[in-house]
């Protein structure tokens, strides 16, 4: 999948380098001249930005309070603090953010093994991923009344964490993966049981959305070799999305979205369909996509970045995440098209505009965004959704 359209991959890398330069300028640091980035570049995230994003996860990974817990009480004995209920993943305000905070650190350790933050990051991950902690996580999931716990978003991120560890040829990471593997098995089995029973897609802009999580699951299945999961996801794509037409993108965003229902669906379908079939499907699904070259009229006005009015509000701050996720989804859609498709230029230009609007806001000034936006920034700038096998 990663080699479908090398020209688009080149443009994606260049776009992200330019965006990171804009981020550096916004932080009052002189922006260095970006070197040419080859098509096979594993990342367009520089070490300085990686350190900033790692610091956000390190700050919250084991910070229990404040804590927004989603917890079913089966009796008085269940009235316990999060560090006892889910001892591996209890920080970063909520379970799913703590899970993907671990993913962030593992991904950055893998890509920047000699960075100054790597030692602290390794210690933080090792503190969490112990056999007793993972055994407790499994016991928590299996308790009565928790069949829907963190489904699908948090569970899909757990699979992403497992996939990142699977790819990491490092002795310590191998040990972490061996520790996490029983929880990975539990989570994948839960999702594989759930998908055939989900009769309708969930088309919202927050955690319960189907499409984004299906994309994370698809990428995990590529790394793990889980053919059964791939078959279930292919079936879901056919049932939920194959015949969708004219997605109402003009109705987006809702006021608290951090995922685009329309773009997430297209970003999932480009994984499932071959480029020619995807190009045809996309024409029916998003007919408003501009077709043109860089010298033509403005190619980004069809989808302006979302406006954030208060970054200290935990729900209104979601819009920064929306801009980041839109950026990687737009790049993913471009990546799924055949070379030379006339829509690629507009998709990448619009992705760059969204990234430029959102990356400077990933500062950690407000915990409401700082506990999770670093993950979205790393997912975007390391092209995690484009190259799941790297």
Q: Per-residue pLDDT tens for 233-271?
A: 999 999 999 999 999 999 999 999 999 999 999 999 999
Q: How far apart are CA 385 and CA 374, in angstroms?
A: 16
Average pLDDT over residues 8-15: 39
Distance CA 144, CA 258 (A): 30
Residues composing the chain:
390
CB atoms within 10 A of CB 244: 17
Residue 222 has pLDDT above 60, yes or no: yes
Confidence of residue 108 (pLDDT cuts 50, 70, 90): very high
State the pLDDT at residue 167. Answer: 96
In percent, how much of the chain has pLDDT > 90? Answer: 85
Q: What CA–CA distance (Å, rounded) separates 19 from 351?
A: 10
Torsion of CA 201, 207, 211, 217, to 10 degrees: -120
Chain-wide mean pLDDT for the chain?
89
pLDDT at 298: 83
Model pLDDT, residue 41: 31
pTM for this predicted structure: 0.88
């Amino acid at each position: 999948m990663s080699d479908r359209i090398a020209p688009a991959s080149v443009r994606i890398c260049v776009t992200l380098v330019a965006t990171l330069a804009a981020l550096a300028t916004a932080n009052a640091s002189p922006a260095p001249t970006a070197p040419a980035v080859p098509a096979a570049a594993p990342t367009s995230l520089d070490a300085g930005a990686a350190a900033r994003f790692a610091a956000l996860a390190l700050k919250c990974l084991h910070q229990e309070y404040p804590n927004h817990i989603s917890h079913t009480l089966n009796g008085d004995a269940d009235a316990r603090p999060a560090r006892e209920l889910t001892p591996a993943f209890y920080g970063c305000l909520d379970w799913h953010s703590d899970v993907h905070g671990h993913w962030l650190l593992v991904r950055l350790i893998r890509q920047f093994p000699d960075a100054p933050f790597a030692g602290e990051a390794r210690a933080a991950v090792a503190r969490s991923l112990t056999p007793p902690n993972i055994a407790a996580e499994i016991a928590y999931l299996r308790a009565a009344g928790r069949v829907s716990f963190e489904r699908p978003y948090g569970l899909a991120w757990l699979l992403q964490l497992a996939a990142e560890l699977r790819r990491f040829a490092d002795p310590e990471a191998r040990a972490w993966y061996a520790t996490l593997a029983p929880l990975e098995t539990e989570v994948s089995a839960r999702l594989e049981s759930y998908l055939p029973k989900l009769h309708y897609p969930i088309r919202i802009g927050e955690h319960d959305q189907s499409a984004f999580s299906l994309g994370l699951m698809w990428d995990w299945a590529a790394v793990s070799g889980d053919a059964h999961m791939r078959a279930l996801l292919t079936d879901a794509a056919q049932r939920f999305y194959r015949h969708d037409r004219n997605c109402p993108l003009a109705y987006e965003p809702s006021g608290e979205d951090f995922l685009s229902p329309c773009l997430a669906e297209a970003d999932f379908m480009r994984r499932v369909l071959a480029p020619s079939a995807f190009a045809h499907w996309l024409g029916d699904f998003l007919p408003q996509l501009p077709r043109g070259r860089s010298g033509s009229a403005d190619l980004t006005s069809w989808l302006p970045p979302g406006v954030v009015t208060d970054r200290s509000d935990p729900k209104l701050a979601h819009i920064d995440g929306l801009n980041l996720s839109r950026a990687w989804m737009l790049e993913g859609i471009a990546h799924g098209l055949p070379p030379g498709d006339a829509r690629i230029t507009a998709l990448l230009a619009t992705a760059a505009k969204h990234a430029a609007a959102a990356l400077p806001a990933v500062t950690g000034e407000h915990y409401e965004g700082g506990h999770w936006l670093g993950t979205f920034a790393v997912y975007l700038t390391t092209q995690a959704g484009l190259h799941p096998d790297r």
